[in-house]
């Protein structure tokens, strides 16, 4: 059935919100409208496309195959309209207003204080809304328009986002203070296979980077899995095993006498940190400026990072 006219922005926005929340009440609250108004918008949109977009149940909302097919286009339209409003409201003022910035948990403890202080001083017209979450959640929130940008490790295949590399961090092996590896500088990644390995939970990029260094997983699973880096490091201090962490995280360990550090020999494993934003965003220049500023703030501290040269213009 052909569409007689274009859907309205409010209809598309209602559809996207309902797909994200999968609950009429939660979606209506997020949009600041009544549930009957939301339902009317969805019904009107379904009439326009000639098919059911969602299945209404007593508890949840299920997105139909037609809804799944049309959702990416609806989301792009909503994000484009919001980007237009942002550009119009800023009237050309770079990095002003609220910046909803995601950050992964394995760098947040030592990078967040630098961002909160440094960005407040450098960009007083910008209000930083910093949110800590794992990589997958950062990317989901970014795609849904709930984040403006995110600081993540650029190891993953990043779709529908633009990545701006900022700096590299060396990975080191954390051990108990009396571990025979403590102080070594020639550890081979293959040697990790012989150690009781402590990992972060699934969904954390540092877990994936650690597993990529060894061959053991599957035949010899990790000795323990924890949700936070602080829990993993405490288990290391207790002598439960070893783990791999970014070198910058060493400054968080207290008392330091409980830990030992071993370093990889040869080509040292790195993780590359970068700023990502939606490809469709109209603020690409702003995000490039923000990434450059964050890189400078990091370089002015004692964090053990390696600067990444800006990409040459195409």
16-46 pLDDT tens trace:
999 988 889 888 998 899 999 999 999 999 9
Q: Is residue 277 part of a domain?
A: yes
pLDDT of 129 reads 94
pLDDT of 1 reads 45
Q: Is residue 313 part of a domain?
A: no
Residue at which a domain ends, from 90, 106, 133: 90
C-alpha dihedral sign at 261, 264, 269, 270: positive
175 and 238 share one domain: yes
Share of the chain above pLDDT 70, in %: 91
- Averaged pLDDT of the chain: 88
| Residue 276 confidence (pLDDT) above 90 | yes
279 and 157 share one domain: yes
Q: Is residue 204 part of a domain?
A: yes
pLDDT of 312 reads 46
Residue at which a domain ends, from 90, 119, 152: 90
Residue written as tokens 């000639």?
50
pLDDT of 89 reads 63
Residue at which a domain ends, from 90, 120, 155: 90
Quote the CA–CA distance of 252 and 153 in Å, as a whole number: 19
155 and 196 share one domain: no
121 and 212 share one domain: no
Of 34-43, 45-54, 153-162, 222-231, give the lowest mean pLDDT range.
153-162
238 and 303 share one domain: no
What is the CATH classification number for the domain harbouring 194?
3.40.190.10
277 and 265 share one domain: no
pLDDT of 139 reads 92
Q: What are phi and psi of 110, to 5 degrees?
A: -110, -10
Q: What is the number of structural domains in the chain?
A: 3
User: Number of H helices and number of E strands within the chain?
Assistant: 9, 12
Could you tell me which of 200, 240, 192, 236 has the C-alpha nearest to residue 216?
Answer: 192
Q: Is residue 291 part of a domain?
A: yes
189 and 119 share one domain: no
What is the CATH classification number for the domain harbouring 79?
1.10.10.10
pLDDT of 217 reads 54
250 and 193 share one domain: yes
Q: Is residue 126 part of a domain?
A: yes
54 and 184 share one domain: no
In terms of average pLDDT, the best of 85-89, 138-142, 243-247 is 243-247
pLDDT of 76 reads 85
Q: Is residue 122 part of a domain?
A: yes
Of 197-206, 228-237, 304-313, give the lowest mean pLDDT range.
304-313
86 and 63 share one domain: yes
| Residue 282 confidence (pLDDT) above 90 | no
In which domain, by residue range, is 109 found? 97-164+273-307
First and final CA of the chain: distance in angstroms? Answer: 44
190 and 257 share one domain: yes
Work out the pLDDT band at 59, boundaries 50, 70, 90. Answer: confident
Q: Is residue 71 part of a domain?
A: yes
pLDDT of 314 reads 36
Work out the pLDDT band at 280, boundaries 50, 70, 90. Answer: confident
pLDDT of 92 reads 53
pLDDT of 202 reads 83
By three-state DSSP, how is residue 124 classified? Answer: coil
Q: Is residue 21 part of a domain?
A: yes
Cβ 290 vs Cβ 99: under 8 Å: yes
pLDDT, tens digit (0-9, with 9 covering 90-100), for 155-201:
766 777 899 999 999 999 999 999 999 999 999 998 998 899 999 98
43 and 17 share one domain: yes
């Amino acid at each position: 059935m052909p569409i007689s006219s274009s859907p309205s922005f409010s209809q598309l926005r209602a559809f996207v919100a309902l797909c994200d929340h999968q609950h009429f009440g939660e979606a209506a609250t997020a949009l600041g409208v009544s549930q009957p108004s939301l339902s009317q918008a969805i019904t009107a949109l379904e009439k326009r496309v000639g098919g059911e977009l969602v299945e209404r149940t007593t508890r949840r909302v299920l997105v139909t195959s037609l809804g799944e097919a049309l959702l990416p286009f609806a989301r792009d339209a909503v994000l484009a309209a919001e980007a237009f409003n942002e550009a119009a409201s800023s009237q050309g003022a770079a990095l002003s207003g609220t910046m909803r910035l995601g950050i992964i948990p394995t760098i947040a403890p030592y990078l967040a204080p630098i961002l909160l202080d440094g960005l407040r001083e450098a960009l007083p017209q910008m209000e930083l809304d910093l949110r800590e979450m794992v990589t997958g959640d950062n990317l989901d929130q970014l795609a849904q328009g709930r984040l403006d940008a995110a600081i993540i490790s650029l190891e993953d295949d990043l779709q529908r986002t633009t990545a701006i590399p900022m700096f590299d961090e060396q990975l080191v092996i954390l051990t108990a203070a009396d571990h025979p590896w403590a102080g070594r500088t020639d550890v081979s990644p293959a040697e990790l296979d012989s150690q009781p390995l402590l990992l972060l939970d699934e969904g954390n990029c540092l877990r994936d980077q650690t597993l990529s260094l060894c061959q053991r997983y599957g035949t010899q699973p990790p000795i323990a899995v924890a949700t936070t880096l602080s829990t993993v490091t405490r288990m290391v201090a207790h002598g439960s095993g070893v783990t791999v962490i970014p070198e910058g995280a060493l400054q968080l360990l207290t008392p330091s006498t409980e830990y030992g550090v071993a370093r990889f020999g040869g080509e040292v494993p790195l993780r590359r940190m970068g700023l990502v934003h939606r490809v469709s965003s109209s603020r690409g220049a702003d995000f490039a400026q923000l990434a450059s500023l964050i890189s400078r703030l990091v370089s002015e501290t004692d964090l053990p990072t390696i600067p990444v040269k800006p990409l040459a213009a195409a």
